[in-house]
Amino acid sequence: MKIPVLVPNIFDHPFTYNSDKKLNTGDYVLVPFGKNKITGVVWDHFEKNSNKEFKIKKIIEKLNIKPLDNKTIKFLNWFSEYNLIPKGMSLKLHLLSNEAIKKQKSIDYDQYNVKNKTLNFELSKEQKLVLNELNKNNKNFRVHLLQGVTGSGKTMVYFESIKEKIDKGYQGLILLPEIGLTSEFEKKFKEYFGFNPALWHSGISKKRKKVIWSGLLNGKIKVVIGARSALFLPFNKLGIIIVDEEHDQSFKQDEGLIYNARDMAISRASFENVPINLVSAVPSIETFENLKKKKYYFSRLFNRYKEASLPSHEIIDLKKYKLKNNSWISSKTIQIAKHHLEKGDQILFFLNRRGFAPYVLCKNCYKVYSCPNCSINLVYHKNKKKLLCHYCGFKSDLKRECKRNISGVCQFIFSGPGVEKIYEEVNLLFPNYKSHIFSSDTMNKKSSLDILNKIRNNEIKILIGTQLISKGFHFPNLNCIFVLDIDLSSQGHDLRGNEKNLQLYHQLSGRAGRTGNPSTVYFQTYNLNKEMISKLTSEDPFIFLEEELNLRKKNNLPPYERFISLILTSTNNLILDQDSDKLKKFLEKKINAKILGPVNAPIYKLKKNYRNRLLIRSNKSVKIQQSLALALKNFNFNSGIKLTVDVDPINFN
Ligand SMILES: [Zn+2]
Ligand SMILES: [Zn+2]
């Protein structure tokens, strides 16, 4: 009999095979494909209108694995259609690779065994109330937002909601935005539940991944904590999904297969018919709109746990307290910092720029160091003694022949501050206090747990941090934050600029005063936009979101319209321009939507490729993905042109 088999590769349809034995949808099978044998899954439909004539090959064997359930097959089909990702690639996300995940007999799952919880932890009255609300409607699919001020103990509340599900024999999935957070989170989990969750992210070994994959499928593993890709794991009996920090833009996979893991988690929950809890201090604008439309339930925690109070906010006017030459910390800031340090507080200088200096130029020939592969300046990293491209990883030494200097080499000026420069200044100003840089350059290594401990023990007194530090860390002694350059105007081309600022400064100020001591966040700025700063840091983010949503509505921006970015790339910019124009004209006849562009992308050259963008804007009620996918199948690109489709784009680089 003829059987449709989907294989994990770039094709958007199943292939037809022959089989003597009866097979069912969802069976994992080994099939010949080209010259190889690969694992595929018996799919729920045949390839549509295929006129191709070729010899039908025979299925080699049925694998001895519990079949893929219908709900997951439906989810993967939907995922492909929504994101314009070939079905075979969606299956690859589920299968991890092309080879078979065979049943492993002697796996020891002991560390994942459910034990009774060991921690004696009492929820506050407010937390208990919210927990009841979460558990009220949690039998079937529904979305519930848990919004709470930073430090209000949202995690403990949803841990309880998971526990209830585990007690009934279900499994839970927790999605986190950052791998950097998982080890600290794992510790918290273990303290609470008394057993290990399975951790799932790109840093986990292939061998461990196989253990987790089969452990979840056979129900031995109860809870998995993971980054985006955990969304595609098989479950024996999934009972609940949590998306923590749901607003975080790291949930958007921006390269390769592009999708938003938060949105896809909601759809997986709907196919599984299980509840999903979104958790955040400052929800995304999409989530906020769904609350307003009453599509989501929601609960709020207004108080910090154990009556800790939220930080107050002050502005340091840089017109009044002028910065000295080559200095980035004002005299007023120094005075306040000293006062806090003498009290024993930990302090943080926040600057969202990695490295030492964002521009390096020569004072004789004025040439700026830029990346040969990208249209981006190279950033000087003094610790590594290298110039780096933050986009493609290109490295260069700080040495260059000069055309206008008699001695023959360039003489460099380091323009603008990065955290490493602030670190130097801090060490000159406060030589008696231990300081540390907190950025992806210093916190991705094995030593980071040790550094986190030193910060928690108040051994490190001064932190100099980038955005990374705003992400959910708990530092009990941090009571004072200085934002060195709040710049609210720089994001002109980004429709999400305001929303991103709200989330950043809200999360950042949430790091201060978490154990009850009074705390303050200071903003050093030339631009005395008091109103803007107080809106960004208000205890109630809904006020800001309401305004932002009105603006979006007025301008027909998402979430009121559907945006789809088409990014064309090529090493040949002439062919790229031709194809971009041709594609626009072609699509205008085929789809019912407005098409903007083509324009050169803000980062025009990236990793040696030139980039053009088209933006499709359509009414949300139209099934634009379907007609777009069909149209794109019939468009012939010149060779060397690559197209990337980004549905619901977040970045417009
Ligand atoms: Zn580069
Ligand atoms: Zn020079």
Instruction: Give the span between the Cα atoms of 45 and 23, in whole angstroms.
Output: 14
What's the pLDDT band for 151 if we cut at 50, 70, 90? Answer: confident
b/e 349-376 (16+ beta carbons within 10 angstroms → b): bbbbbbbbbbebbbebeeeebbbebbbb
178-207 pLDDT, tens digit each: 776 677 788 889 888 888 899 998 888 888
* Ligand lying nearest the CA atom of residue 402: 2
How far apart are the CA of 606 and the centre of ligand 1, in A?
Answer: 6
Q: Enter the DSSP assignment of 35.
A: T
Element spanning 646, H or E? strand 642-647
- Average pLDDT of the chain is 90
Residue 407 burial (10 A CB sphere; 0-12, 13-18, 19+): exposed
pLDDT value of position 53: 67
How far apart are the CA of 516 and the centre of ligand 2, in A?
Answer: 54
Average pLDDT over residues 292-316: 88
* Ligand lying nearest the CA atom of residue 362: 2
pLDDT value of position 493: 63
Collapsing DSSP states into helix, strand and coil, what is residue 627?
helix
How far apart are the CA of 139 and the centre of ligand 1, in A?
Answer: 49
* Ligand lying nearest the CA atom of residue 391: 1
Average pLDDT over residues 544-564: 93
Collapsing DSSP states into helix, strand and coil, what is residue 169?
coil
218-260 pLDDT, tens digit each: 899 999 999 899 999 999 999 999 999 999 999 999 888 999 9
Whether the per-residue pLDDT at 606 is higher than 70: the answer is yes
422-461 pLDDT, tens digit each: 999 999 999 999 999 999 888 876 677 888 889 999 999 9
Whether the per-residue pLDDT at 613 is higher than 70: the answer is yes
Tokens of 321: 């307290």
* Ligand lying nearest the CA atom of residue 400: 2
Q: Are 423 and 365 in contact (CB under 8 A)?
A: no
pLDDT value of position 554: 93
Q: Among candidates 534, 620, 624, which has minimal Cα distance to 81?
A: 624
- The gap from C-alpha 297 to its chain's centroid, in whole angstroms, comes to 24
How far apart are the CA of 571 and the centre of ligand 2, in A?
Answer: 29
How far apart are the CA of 611 and the centre of ligand 2, in A?
Answer: 30
Q: Among candidates 314, 359, 342, 265, which has minimal Cα distance to 486?
A: 314
Query: Which amino acid makes up residue 263?
Result: D
* Ligand lying nearest the CA atom of residue 409: 2
Q: How many secondary structure helices (H) and strands (E) does the chain include?
A: 16, 29
Whether the per-residue pLDDT at 119 is higher than 80: the answer is no
Residue with the bigger pLDDT between 472 and 31: it is 31
Whether the per-residue pLDDT at 489 is higher than 60: the answer is no
How far apart are the CA of 375 and the centre of ligand 1, in A?
Answer: 7
Instruction: State how far the alpha carbon of 213 is from the alpha carbons of 9, 30, 65, 442, 486, in Å.
Output: 20, 18, 11, 32, 44
How far apart are the CA of 368 and the centre of ligand 2, in A?
Answer: 9
Average pLDDT over residues 621-645: 93
How far apart are the CA of 372 and the centre of ligand 1, in A?
Answer: 7
* Ligand lying nearest the CA atom of residue 401: 2
Whether the per-residue pLDDT at 487 is higher than 70: the answer is no
Could you tell me whether strands 609-619 and 561-570 are parallel, antiparallel, or unpaired per DSSP bridges? antiparallel
How far apart are the CA of 388 and the centre of ligand 1, in A?
Answer: 8
Instruction: Give the span between the Cα atoms of 321 and 332, in whole angstroms.
Output: 6
What's the pLDDT band for 492 if we cut at 50, 70, 90? Answer: low
How far apart are the CA of 608 and the centre of ligand 2, in A?
Answer: 25
How far apart are the CA of 358 and the centre of ligand 1, in A?
Answer: 14
* Ligand lying nearest the CA atom of residue 408: 2
* Ligand lying nearest the CA atom of residue 361: 2
Average pLDDT over residues 272-295: 96
* Ligand lying nearest the CA atom of residue 406: 2
How far apart are the CA of 239 and the centre of ligand 1, in A?
Answer: 44
Instruction: State how far the alpha carbon of 174 is from the alpha carbons of 167, 198, 543, in Å.
Output: 17, 10, 29
Q: Among candidates 54, 60, 49, which has minimal Cα distance to 5?
A: 60
- DSSP strands (E only) in 452-606: 462-465, 478-483, 520-525, 561-570, 594-606
How far apart are the CA of 371 and the centre of ligand 1, in A?
Answer: 5
Collapsing DSSP states into helix, strand and coil, what is residue 538?
coil
How far apart are the CA of 370 and the centre of ligand 1, in A?
Answer: 8
Whether the per-residue pLDDT at 150 is higher than 90: the answer is no
Q: Are 460 and 435 in contact (CB under 8 A)?
A: yes
Q: Enter the DSSP assignment of 112.
A: G
* Ligand lying nearest the CA atom of residue 609: 1
* Ligand lying nearest the CA atom of residue 365: 2
The backbone region for 84, taken as left when phi is positive above 0, alpha when psi lies in -120 to 50, beta otherwise, is: left
